[in-house]
Amino acid sequence: MMADKEGLGGHDPLIGGQQTFQSLDNTIASVVQDQKRHSNKPWMATTFIAFIFVNILMVSVGWLVYQGIGIWGNNVPAGWAFDIINFVWWIGIGHAGTLISAILLLLRQQWRNSINRFSEAMTIFAVMCAAMFPLFHTGRPWVAFYWLLPYPNIMGVWPQFRSPLIWDVFAVSTYFTVSLVFWLVGLVPDFGTLRDRAEKVAMKRFWAILAMGWRGSQKHWHRYEQAYLILAGISTPLVLSVHSIVSLDFAVSIVPGWNTAVFPPYFVAGAVFAGFAMVLLLAIPIRAIYGLKDLITMRHIDWCAKIMLTTGLIVFFGYMLEVYYGWYSGEIPETRVMLWRFFGPYKYLYWLLILCNGVIPQLMWSPKARRHIPTVWFVCLVVSLGMWLERFVIIPMSLTINYLPASDRMYYPTLWDFGMFTGTIGFFVFMMFLFVRFLPTINMFEMKDLLHTLSHGKARKVAVGAKGGR
């Protein structure tokens, strides 16, 4: 069974090269099972640098726990600053994984098959990074669970159920649990393949334990597909609900610039925007380092870029709504916030945000730009920065200006703020590269299923020609 590089209708193919089931297994599994494929310098160099930042993270967290959150730049009124910016930024990045793995599965979009495993891993590590911030922001993370989770206690004290901060606890923990289960269930058939391919007995046993007795029988596949669809059904509402709840952390309060009805969909769009940018930011170098260009093709990059453009436009529309209704309201605090953003001491960050999220992503209108890898990568980098800036604009920039001018106070981050933020980036990259090293980055059986579908002409409109069979 082979798929030809030339597609129908002159489009880029979903699977490039002359592929067979065997060649797909070889290409993907060898990244895990063949040591020689990791002797290249980029993996070592990136993992090493990321590990340095993991150490910075550990030092930052250690000092934070020892000294307390006073080492951060947070103050009154900017009680939320880098910690919550980073929390929202990381949670948002995870959303692309859930959208790709769950929603695109339900929409029968088979192009997801090349990138879903990778994106799901990204979701899990991003949520881990996100969860660190509010947890350490409590000041005493070792007792935080007593404050955050509702449990019957002799004092009769319960969390405030009307507060979105408590909804957040449930949203994020559900999100992490469901994403992890979804990811692990999806890995089971591939663990079976790795077990069957392993040569050493110890490795065979290792993969056999993870495969949980997977034999690939008809009954196994039937149950697997049912479980996977149910998990996709559970995950789908999470794409909307998690970031909507995160947005409510701000929107339900009465801080000028926060009590804005459009926040939930605007946050969700921003999350998908940032998430797809991160998918491409990592997928582009990894496909180059490991020779996966036939599996993550220009067509995937083109579609991810289009989704990025669409969600970016929704985000930009959100900025316009904030400005227009900030003015339309005629309320002085709302107008003050807008003027503060435009002309205040943080104005450079606001205009940089507009450049990063509003102007530069418009390059993605051009099909040529969407197919020019350095341009796409640059835009993704800019969008990642832009989405971080957006949270800076929303959170400390709004908090530093209040109803009473006497309460206004500037916010400046400290080195420890940067230490913890860059540390989580290091942790994320470190975990992603460990994932690439030890687990199949691309879903092997779904790629084979796609190859089968394409080769049998069931999807004539997609751009892989079916020329032969095995």
Contact residues toward other proteins (CB under 8 A) are 162, 240, 244, 248, 251-254, 259-265, 313, 317-318, 320-322, 324-325, 328-331, 365
Closer Cβ to other proteins, 103 or 429, answer by number: 103
Pick between residue 104 and residue 251 the one whose CB is nearest to other proteins. 251
Residue 333 Cβ vs other proteins, minimum distance, rounded to whole Å = 10
Q: Six-digit token pair at 54?
A: 């993991």
Least Å from the CB of residue 249 to other proteins: 11
Nearer to other proteins, 245 or 282 (CB): 245
Q: Is 98 exposed, middle or buried (0-12, 13-18, 19+ CB in 10 A)?
A: buried
d(CA 377, CA 304): 12
Following CA atoms 298, 301, 303, 304 in sequence, which dihedral angle do they give, to the nearest 10 degrees?
A: 170
d(C-alpha 182, C-alpha 239), whole Å: 14
**What is the C-alpha to C-alpha distance for residues 285 and 141, in angstroms, rounded to an integer?**
36
| CA dihedral for 5, 9, 10, 14, sign (positive or negative) | negative
Which of 43/167 has CB closer to other proteins?
Answer: 167
Output the smallest distance, CB 247 to other proteins, in A: 8
Cβ of residue 251: shortest distance to other proteins, in angstroms?
A: 5
The least distance separating other proteins from the CB of residue 424, rounded to whole angstroms, comes to 29
Angle at which helix 82-98 crosses helix 116-137, to 10 degrees, equals: 160
CB 166 to other proteins: min, Å = 13
| Nearer to other proteins (CB atom), residue 328 or residue 342 | 328
Q: Least distance to other proteins from the beta carbon of 67, Å?
A: 35
Using only C-alpha atoms, the chain has a radius of gyration, in whole angstroms, of 23
* Smaller CB separation from other proteins, 52 or 323: 323
Q: Please, are residues 292 and 356 in contact by the beta-carbon 8 Å criterion?
A: no
How far is residue 41 from each of residues 290, 389, 433, measured CA to CA in Å? Answer: 12, 32, 13
CB of 107 to other proteins, least distance (A): 9
User: Tokens in use for 349?
Assistant: 């960050």
How far is Cα 338 from Cα 260, in angstroms, rounded to an integer?
Answer: 13
Nearer Cβ to other proteins, position 144 or 262?
A: 262
Beta carbon nearer to other proteins, 117 or 370: 370
| β-bridge mates for residue 4, sequence order | 465
Nearest to other proteins of 262, 339 (CB atom): 262
* Least distance CB 391 / other proteins (angstroms): 18
